[in-house]
Structure 1
Amino acid sequence: MGAQDISWWDLSLGYILVLIPIIVFSYFKTGLVKPTLIATARMTVQLYLIGLYLEYIFTLNNIWINIGWVILMVLIASFTAIKRSYLNRKIFLFPIFLSMLIVIFAVDFYFLGVVVKLDFLFDAKYFIPITGMLIGNSMSNNIVAFNTYFDSLDKNQTQYKFALANGATKLEALKSFIKEALVKSLSPTIATTSVVGLISLPGMMTGQILGGQSPAVAIKYQIMIMITILVTSMMTVILSILISNRFIFDKMEMPLKNLYSGK
């Protein structure tokens, strides 16, 4: 038995809940009323359109369409990460997109091919939703990592130059900056992993249980999802930084001046 359906009328009643933050935001004059309404409207339209499109993708289940859809998701995530980090798109789009693409497909191949052992590795009902979860979490971690790493490098160039002057390689001179980016971006993910099941019931596990799957099977999938999210997030952060480093330094190994958009 699947999850209890929600009628369109009942769904409209659910939107009444949005009035609560709207009233609070309005009372405290936060300026968040309009962004909240826009975000809710965009979310509704986007999910409705995606729902229609996924119905088509799942029915067709074509390998090239499935791969193309994932590549599009990675591209959008790359644009979003760059935009939210205020980085120069011309410099960072290729390294970030390439990093996310490599990591996502590598982890997907291992998870779906080695662990789940799918006969069809690119089966849409597995490949697309799981990849979407990995991309979403990786994007959030990348935004924090980029903000931390590039802002720290921009403000502490003296520390970087001092390390180089004392015989350090470029990677050694950048080690403390990369460390800070990893700690700040991945600490929330590690904290979430450590308490999952105690203070929260994850979305995928809840969805599988509501869909009629046994809790035992749902737990196994959720364990793997948490592991792959942690691994994917870490790998995309470190690989994005390492590949970006090949584009952001001049011939004298000094950071370029135009790392940020508008600068």
Structure 2
Amino acid sequence: MDISWLAMSVFMLVLIAPLAINRYFHLHLGKDIAVAVLRMTVQMVLIGLYLKFLFHLESLWVNLIWLLVMLLVGASAIINKAKLPKSAMMLPVIGGLLLGLVPILLIMMLFLFQPTPIYSTQFLIPTAGMLLGNSLSGNIIALQRLFSAFEEKQPQYHGALALGASPKQASEPFVQHAMQQSFAPILASMTTTGLVSLPGMMTGQILGGVDPIIAVKYQIIILIAIFATLTISVASAIQLTINQLLNHSGKLRFNAADL
């Protein structure tokens, strides 16, 4: 069942509620809400048209270029939201996303979906988008917590170094805390999925007429893939960041307080 553009436009009147809340509580978010909704709508329409074109084109190289664009945009979003320097952090963040995305994506394409061709745009691009999109917030939280720890607990870090700890050992509590904080939201979400919430992909499939059991299977696969991608990308990005941040003696190459 298709949704008409008129029906969609009328439905968007529900935005009156968040705008009213913004006005009543003087949140000063009216411009941000308007820009976010407008950009989201325009971007989604454009990507829909572009994906329709890609589905017909079915080119390996175009798909790989599009994946690279997604990685660059995702890495930039992580760095900007975490308020980190691009020059120092772009490679660690992109490296983390690559290490998290590529193995999981290959397993899904080669052994689960098995589309023809194996780089089928219909499977490759949406799946990569879901995995990357759900990894962004976790990476932002992890990097923010990591740099905050170096800023707020420098005496603890330097004390551990003075007692003979290696840079890896001295920074380990910061790494552990950053990763725990990063994984907490998705673990909470997975714990309540099916009882409190029905994920968007599963709901969309059911509304599209797919058998609920088939929709459940796909959703389980996607949630596990998202969790695996998130954990690998966060762990990789943090380790690459530590290597970038600390020299062999444990001294910070750039001051976290200046970030």
* Cross-structure match for 1:129: 126
Contact map agreement 1:104 1:135 (CA 8 A) in 2: yes
Alignment of 1:66 onto 2:98: no
Q: Aligned equivalents of 1:194 and 1:143: distance in 2? A: 22
Mind listing any 5+ residue stretches in structure 2 that lack a counterpart? none
Residue 9 (structure 1) aligned to one of 6, 30, 33: 6
* Equivalent-residue separation in structure 1 for 2:113 and 2:174 (angstroms): 37
Q: Which amino acid aligns with 2:40?
A: M
Q: 1:152 aligns with which of 138, 149, 152?
A: 149
**Displacement of 1:60 after TM fit?**
1.0
3-state SS of paired residue (1:105): helix
Residues 120, 19 of structure 1: alpha-carbon distance in 2 compared, 3 angstrom cutoff: same
Corresponding position: 1:26 with 2:32 = no
Task: Pick from 37, 42, 47 the counterpart of residue 44 of structure 2.
Answer: 47
RMSD: 1.5
Q: TM-score w.r.t. structure 1 length?
A: 0.94
Report matched runs for 1:141-180 at 5 Å: 141-180=138-177
172 and 252 in structure 1: CA distance in 2 versus 1, 3 angstrom threshold:
closer
Residue aligning to 1:229:
226
Q: Distance in 2 between matches of 1:23 and 1:155?
A: 38
**Residue pair 2:89, 2:241 contacting (<8 A) in 1 also:** yes
Per the alignment, do residues 239 and 93 of structure 1 end up closer, same or farther by CA in structure 2, a change over 3 Å counting? same
Match of 2:98 among 101, 117, 120: 101
Deviates more, 1:245-254 or 1:89-98: 245-254
- 2:195 — aligned with what? 198
Q: Conserved in 2, the CA contact under 8 Å of 1:88 and 1:259?
A: no
Partner of 1:78: 75
Structure 1's unaligned 5+ residue stretches are none
Distance in 2 of aligned mates of 1:121 and 1:209: 26
The percentage of aligned residue pairs carrying the same residue is: 34
- Tell me what 1:253 maps to: 250
CA distance in 2, matches of 1:225, 1:89: 30
Q: What is the match of residue 92 of structure 1?
A: 89
Matched, 1:213 2:228: no
User: TM-score of the superposition, structure 2-length normalised?
Assistant: 0.95
1:96 and 1:28 mapped to 2: Cα distance? 37
Q: Which has the higher helix share?
A: 2
Q: Alpha-carbon deviation of 1:259?
A: 4.5
Secondary structure of the residue aligned to 1:161 is helix
Measured against aligned partners, the alpha-carbon deviations of 1:27-46 in whole angstroms (never above 9, x if no partner) come to: 21111111101100111110
CA contact (8 A) 2:186 2:227 kept: yes
Deviations 1:218-251 (A, max 9, x none): 1111111111111111111110010111211245
Kept in 1: contact 2:131–2:229 (CA 8 A): yes
Q: In the alignment, is the contact (CA less than 8 A) between 1:71 and 1:101 conserved in 2? A: no
Q: Give the superposition deviation at 1:114.
A: 2.3
1:115, CA displacement in angstroms? 2.9
